[in-house]
Every structure is written in C-alpha cells, then in structure tokens.
Amino acid sequence: MNCLACEEKEMVPVFTDQGVEIDFCPDCRGIWLDKGEIFYFTKKPKQIQRELDEAIKQGTPSERISPRTGEKMLDIRLLNGNLTLDYSPTSGGIWFDGVELESLATHFGTDFKLSLDRGTMRQEEPKVSVPASLSALPNLVFRSATVLVLLYGFLTLVLITLTLYTDLTPFFALTIGIVIATVQFLLGPFLTDISLRWFYKMSWVNYEELPASLTSFIRSTCKSNNMKNPRMGIINDGAPNAFTYGHTPNNARIVITQGIMDLLHDDELEGVIAHEIGHAKHWDMLIMTAAQLVPLVMYYIYRTLIRMKSKGEDKSAGPRLAIAISAYILYILCQYAVLWLSRTREYYADRFAGQVTRNPNRLSSALVKIGYGLAGKESEKQKGKKEERKPGLEAVGALGIFDPKSGVALVTSSVSSVSAAQKMGDEVDKEVLKDAMKWDLWNPWAKYYEIHSTHPLIANRITHLSTHSEVLGKEPYIRFDKRKPESYWDEFLADVTIRLLPALLFVPFLIAFVASQKMSWIGAGIFAAGVASFFRTKVAYRSAFFPDMAVSSLLRKVKVSGIRPVPCKVKGTIIGRGVPGLIWSEDFVMQDDTGIIFLDYRQPIPLWDFFFGLLRRAKYDNQEAEVVGWYRRAPVPYIELKSLMVQGEKEKKCYTYMAKYIWAGILAIVGLLMVL
C-alpha cells in the first residue's frame, strides 16, 4: 500500500525485533499498524486500549484516506491531547508519522518499544529464477513398496517372536492380522457411508445437481484416466472440506461440503476435486489402508500381551513383556512411517491436480482460502458482476484436503448465504498471505507438527504448486521472498522446556525414590510437578488483559505456539461448526472483516463439550459474537476460548484454564502432605 504522508511512495514490509512484521515508509519513516498490532509492542496494553477508546469517541474527520478501506480516517488525540494520530474506524488501523511514534515511546518509556530490523527492509523485488523443470518427487511406487515391505517385515518379525516365546499359535497370530485387515478394508467404506449420513448430515447427489462445469470436469478427467466417475456426496455445513474414500479407483466416493462450494470459484473447486481424484487414481485408498493396518495390529498385540494373565508359574511372563514393549515401540515407529508415506502421496495428488487442470494456481488459491482463512477484497470488476447477480472419519484422514487431526485447517470458510460469501471477496492480499506462511516456514513448531501430520504444511504445498505453475509457463501463485530475521529455536526450546517441566522435575525425585525406597521422595516429586504445572498454566494462559485484535493481525505473529499464546478479543460472525456437519461438534468458525479463524470451545470434562455441541451449539450460528481467549497455532491458527458473548444470550465461559490451576494446586498439596 502507499504511504499516507508521501502518497505515491509504496510502503515496504519490515520486521521488528519483537517478531512482528509492519508496514514502513523508508522516506518519511511513517508506520502503519493494523488493528491490534500496537499491543505487540507495549507492556501496558490495558492503558493504551483505554486511551484509544476515549480518543476514538472524540475523533474528528480527517482528510486522509485509509489505505486498507479507501474511506476517510479520523483524527484522534492521545496523551492528553498532545499526540494526534490518524485512525481507520472500519479496519482499526493506525498511522504513525515518525515523530508521533517517538512521542509515544517517550511517554511510556521502557513500557513501549518498537524497534525495526533494518535487514528486512526491502527496497526492490528480489530476482527469482524460473525453474527449467519440476523438481522430481520420490518414485511413488518405490517409496510405497519400501514402506509396506518395511512395515510388514516388522509385523512378521513380531508375529514370529510371539509364537516362539508365548503359548499363542501361529494360526492365532495370523488370524489377528487377517481379521483386522478384512474388516478395515471391506467394511470401512460402508461404515463411513453410514457415519456420514447419520452424524454429518451428508447426502448423495446426482451429477445433474452439481454445477455443470464441475460435472463436465469430473467426467472428462475420469475418462482420460480410465476411471469410473466417483460417487459424490455433499455435507450441508458452511465449513469447507473435501475428502475421498473407497476400495479402488472405480468405486471411490468424493465428499465435499456446502461451504467449499460457496467459498471457491469453479476453477478452484475443480483443483480441489482433481486433488481427490488423484488420490483415487494412485490407489491411495488401498495403499494407505494396507499401511495403516500394521501399526493397528502392533498396538493390538501390545494391548493383548499386557492384559494377558497365566495361571500358576508363568515362564513366559518375561518374554511376553519384552515383546509387548517391542511391539509398542514398533507401533510408534510404524505410525511415523505411515505419516511419511501419506505426506508423499499428498504431494502426488497436488501435482496430479496441477497436471489435469493445467493451472496449479487453482489448487493454491483454494488451499489459501481454506487453510489460512484468507480471501481479500473484491476487485471492481468482481463487484460489478455481483451487483448484476472428528470421530467417524479417521479411516479416510490421509485422503482429505487437510489433516483432520489439525481440525482448524478444515474450518476456514464462507457460509451458505450469498451476502456472506460475497463479503469474503476473491483477491487474496499476497503480503498478508506471506505473513501467514512465515510461521509454517520459520517457526520450528511447524516442522514438529508436520512430522505428526498426514499432510504437508500448507506453505510447503503452495510453494511446490507455485513452482509447477512456473514450469508450465504461468505466473506462480506466490513467491515467498521474505528474509528470516532471526532464529526461532530459542523460543521453541523454551516452549518445549515449559511443556515438559512437570515431568522433568518429577524424574529426579523418582530416581531418588528407587534408590532409597522412601515415599517422601515421591511426595516431593509430586509437589515439584504441581508447582511446575501451575507455572506452565500461568505461561500458557496469560490473562492480564485481552486487547481488541483482528484475524489478520494475529496471523502476522510468528512467535506464537500452543504454549506461547496471544491474549485477544475478536469480534465477528459465527459461520460454521468446527467439524463440518458433525451434529455434536462443539467448536466454532468465526469471520471478521479480515479473515476466518477457528474457535476452540473446551471444557474440563469432555462430556460437557459433547452435550453443548449436541444441544446448544446450533443457536450460535450466523450470530454476531465477541470472543475472548488465547490465539495459538498448532499448526494452523485458532483461538482457545475463555468466553463467548452473543447478543440475547448469556455469556458462555470455558473453565479449562481454571481446572488446570486447580489440578496443579491439588498436586502440590498432595505432595506436600506426603512429605510431611
């Protein structure tokens, strides 16, 4: 956007030493802060919020135009009238001339600090070379065969050992695998059919009921790939999702939500459907079922051996325990192997979509809208056109557009109404998108979550698709040209330490107990774990003040994780359920003027969540709401709710953080009593 003072001079994105990117004019040194970003730089957010609220009430019209909305701004006076700022009443953005920012810093002293990382000032677009050819993906057949041979080799080894050192016969051990494989593969799709119809409000549709362009695309794609047309189902929910399941390419089912149809353009929807057809074309349903069987059997063996009891003298107890532990270790290793294979097949499905559509940008755009909740302002051309007119899907988790375990990745969307869908617009602000991608590409937590996911990180998928576009002679969807300003490993290691702190403090006392056999050491360990749990909760639930924020401002924060949150208050519209269509899904999807975000409703007792989702959750749909909570990423953005306020309804509060404080206190008291 252009500088408000220099007018024609374009501002540049610059990183601050506080880990937040802002818009900066290198000529006049002016700074633009979007809604809520000012609170990243102060130790007294409550005082600044109070002064801003008073100043906005007495604001007067300004001649300057907001670079975000194109509307006139307000002159607002802070610091007893000694500081005049330009404020955008619609977007909540604030403009600081260079002198104005210095005045604010002088007034608050060390309680306000905004320092720029000069190395990230970008005076010109970096030169990016166009790749001559696509980077080679690993051979799909070889990698799949290698993983399956490895998995079933582990399984065979465990079964042979089981028959040698226990009373189990080879026939019984073999039966375990055959029964589980048969049930999972043959009955799995039919059980999923029933689950989707009963619990997710899914209905099968004829191709005549789908958009004509989509019908034509599916039929032509399947015909060219010698496949039967997949059976199509629609879940009537505003949150977008798409996935496929079945036995073979010729009896595949593809299920999409109403939300994904409302949010995406026809070409973007074709990109998503092509991705799902790619899964069927590559026999991913069969391969992933066969792969997922091995860790399932390993876990079954572990549980069976642990629970097994023998009468009289049991000579096999030792070997049985050793095999059980080995089976559990192999179960974990096999799980990671399956996830690794799944992520490889996701890249192949993405590439298939780029090849059949001849435009990988279609899928890239869809991933951005669904995964990051970003859909920017409408172009004038588009405005003119519009004026003229959880539990049941784990078996297909590896075949969806996103990993269902990262539930928030499935719930950034539009709603069924035309007005709300129009409000989201079509043109994604690429600078805002780069801000959202930074966490995926820079924060070490992102890689941690990707290793535990069936799907690659969104930023990595978009990068691969953009490269594919360049090879096809098209402008890439995005070139990520940000310079990483610092290493984020110090924050990551601090977060890991805080997360593990109760266990880390308990272990030395446990060792002392084993050596001395004195229960007082256990009591001391429990006391230490309780104190550490209290500290961990204090860090993870910072709650001194919850400033007004916008979704786009939250996305720009790189130093955020499940342990390191941003306390915030966000106002917007509730537009969907956390798990699309699931009748007992207790979570929410909220849309404000800048984007979409997932709201995590969480109570101390899971049964409490279930009944709220089943009996009371629906009345919040399409309501204007104000939420207070903690913004986190794990790996996609979400707000863990502290409270939810909807007009006409009593404020709904979540008590999980209080329960964690109480639990920490109980541990400390019990441990202290044991010591005394």
The catalytic residue positions are 276
CB within 8 Å of 621: residues ≥ 6 apart: 238, 574, 575, 576
Q: Looking up tokens 């009345």, which residue turns up?
A: 619
The neighbour count for residue 207, using CB atoms within 10 Å, is 14
Q: Which residues of 430-446 are buried (b: 16+ CB within 10 A; e: fewer)?
A: ebbbbbbbbbbbbbbbb
Residue 657 CA to residue 571 CA, distance in Å, equals: 22
Q: Over the Cα atoms of the chain, what is R_g?
A: 27
Asked if 304 and 168 count as a contact pair (C-beta separation under 8 A), the reply is no
- CA 311 vs CA 164, 316, 367: distances in Å: 19, 11, 58
Query: Helix-strand-coil percent breakdown of the chain, rounded to 5?
Result: 55, 15, 30
Asked if 655 and 604 count as a contact pair (C-beta separation under 8 A), the reply is yes
Pair type for strands 253-257 and 231-235: parallel
CB within 8 Å of 659: residues ≥ 6 apart: 604
Please report which residue ranges of 584-655 form alpha helices under DSSP H: 606-615
How is residue 314 written in tokens?
């049991």
How is residue 259 written in tokens?
């939300």
CA angle 414, 370, 439 (to 5 degrees): 130
Beta pairing partners, 637: 633
Residue 14 CA to residue 31 CA, distance in Å, equals: 10
Helices 266-281 and 317-357 meet at what angle, rounded to 10?
A: 130
Residue 235 CA to residue 203 CA, distance in Å, equals: 7
Among the listed residues 161, 181, 147, 163, the one whose alpha carbon sits nearest the alpha carbon of residue 327: 161
SS3 at position 326: helix
SS3 at position 142: helix
CB within 8 Å of 88: residues ≥ 6 apart: 66, 68, 69, 71, 73, 74, 94
DSSP letter at 283 equals T
